Chain A
């Protein structure tokens, strides 16, 4: 599959936006400038970028507690995301959701979700809605290795399989469910094989290679759109940062993984890998990548400024939006 230059640059931009945004969020959380729990996906950018590059604007996604990357890749605006994380009324959810719950319906982002495995049936239902409403949109469900042990994973895959729903399940296997190594609590080495139990295709994908992710995602999305049913993709990747920002305060460092392991994965950085591809393929000039990085840095500065200067919600807004 030949991937055009515009799309390549779009995927790189998505990865840079995720990397810089989450680095900033991590620093702000560490400095106690933002409230609540923050989970970042640094190191896992390629799966969000590669999958969302295969989607239309009218396609939908569900995400997780570690969801900033998915939202950014689907087109989420950094300013409103940052404002939400600051708990400001200008945020995507008027300050009622926070880092784990950002939603943008206009972009088909049905939401990050604080409950592990909750997005699976929601995405499945979103795909069912496309069938009922006779639309050709596709839903992608991002979830982690931890969620693949939830009952909702199994119930959803079965439901999507029997109804041949237009949904793509994207498991980002980053090696850990919170602080527990995945292989110690999971019956299989590759989560992709669980697809066999439901009679649907399942593939292991190099989750740090945005081009490979894009190719698999494109095929799965095309299959879903053609009415051929769901696919399970397992993107093998790694979480460079902790489960939650600030975990060293209660766990110390090296509590559940070694520095060596982290460094081995950092050497497989999805952004550096793309830069190498760009240089070797001769398709993209280094200056073009540099420009994307500079533009994103400026976008991020503006987002933080917007968030800082935005008003907090008024206490009188507390009872709004419980019911329609």
Chain B
């Protein structure tokens, strides 16, 4: 089986879904040329009508995706960097998220938003942020954070077929990660966590680009007979609470690892859920390993000091286990 990169997997998902449904189309900044390669070549297959470069006008084109979805098509809208969503907050949070509810269920908003998030080395605060926490408390959106080529393909395909607005956060540093992807139709349902590595002593719930980091730490600690279970929620909304609680029930300890900030972040939300619903399973407090509560800095040593890394994941595991 051939190895596929994360970016190629996105491309395959888009290609397959656009073949499947003529009402899907891609719009966004530089999607024809495709700076990162995710939409590369789509215009040759599907033509300029279904692969549309937009002006750099996020409020305008994100809002247009909302209108296009309401009027019966299935837009796949790329916002180049996740923090550019700030320019289109009204369109995502006041419009896409709410219009179904506010219309008493008349509106259907099958929009897939794609964006690159996260620190990838010297891009500074406006191009490195992990912004999904900002959307977690907006009911009406689904939030997807794929950590591997196989997941990004299967989750993106499910997102495109979903009749709700879904934001897929693709980590910029995962682009060249390679993996074998099952041949044929490969769908990963939204709302189903994955155990990326089974273990017995502690559950590490890792999100997005933190998953490969957590897996490397787990591999290292296995040499010391510390058995770490790595669970990837894959979607933050809906969140597979059952799978998380089942794992914690088995290991009795939990750490949540996220590249986002601590305050008001995804890790805090998941940790609170475990504390509230899984308190009886726990032998110790739920720990959170996140990036610091500062804007992501530019200079490499500062960026490194800010982002959650393998050293901090390992330290948190040792502290939790007294090892």
Contacts and interface: CB of A to CB of B under 8 A. Distances in A.
Contacts of A105: 103, 106-107
Nearest to B106: A105
Contacts of B163: 324
Interface string A112-140: 01110010111111111111110000010
Nearest to A100: B102
B192 interface: no
A306 interface: no
A105 B50 CA distance: 25
Interface stretch (A87-95, A233-241, A265-273): A87-95
Q: Which residue among B57, B64, B69, B108 has the maximum number of chain A CB atoms within 10 Å of its CB?
A: B64
Nearest to B70: A110
A119 to B, nearest CB: 9
Interface string B96-140: 000111111111100000000000000000000000000000011
Contacts of B72: 129, 133
Contact of B94 (A91, A118, A128): A118
Contacts of B101: 96, 321-322
A60 interface: yes
A321 B67 contact: no
A126 B107 contact: no
B94 A129 contact: no
Interface string A65-103: 000000000000000000000000001111111000101
Given A105-B103, A163-B52, A155 B65 contact: no
Contacts, number: 155
Contacts of A218: none
A208 interface: no
A218 to B, nearest CB: 22
Interface string A126-162: 1111111100000100000000000110011011001
A163 B57 CA distance: 14
B23 A133 contact: yes
A120 B100 CA distance: 18
Contacts of B90: 115, 118
A50 interface: no
Interface in B44-73: 49-50, 52, 54-55, 57, 59-73
A124 B63 contact: yes
A132 B95 CA distance: 21
Given A101-B103, A115-B90, A155-B57, A121 B70 contact: no
Contacts of A130: 71
Nearest to A84: B104
Contacts of B57: 151, 155, 158-159
B73 A321 contact: no
Interface residues of B, number: 44
Given A101-B102, A121-B67, A125-B68, A324 B60 contact: no
Contacts of A202: none
B25 interface: yes
Contacts of A156: 60, 63-64
Contacts of A96: 101-104
Contact of A97 (B50, B60, B69, B102): B102
B60 A124 contact: yes
B91 interface: yes
B286 to A, nearest CB: 27
Given A124-B63, A128-B68, A132-B50, A321 B95 contact: no
A81 B52 CA distance: 38
A123 B66 CA distance: 9
Contacts of A95: 104
A250 interface: no
Q: Which residue among B63, B67, B75 has the maximum number of chain A CB atoms within 10 Å of its CB?
A: B67
B63 A92 contact: no
Nearest to B99: A111
Contacts of A115: 90, 94-95
Given A101-B102, A105-B103, A121 B91 contact: yes
A320 interface: yes
A22 interface: no
A105 B107 CA distance: 7
B49 A93 contact: no
Contacts of A132: 23, 25, 49-50, 68, 73
Q: Which residue among B71, B90, B100 has the maximum number of chain A CB atoms within 10 Å of its CB?
A: B71
Contacts of B105: 94, 320-321
A121 B64 contact: yes
Given A105-B107, A118-B63, A322-B101, A159 B73 contact: no
A125 B63 CA distance: 7
Given A121-B91, A162-B55, A324-B108, A110 B71 contact: yes
Contacts of A324: 100, 108, 162-164
Given A155-B59, A158-B60, A324-B163, A128 B103 contact: no
A323 interface: yes
The 4 closest A-B pairs by CB, nearest first: A121-B63, A125-B67, A155-B60, A125-B64
14 contacts: A92-B104, A105-B106, A110-B107, A120-B63, A121-B61, A121-B91, A125-B69, A125-B75, A132-B73, A133-B71, A151-B59, A152-B59, A158-B55, A323-B140
Given A96-B103, A125-B63, A159-B61, 8 more contacts: A97-B103, A125-B69, A126-B71, A155-B60, A162-B55, A321-B101, A324-B162, A324-B164
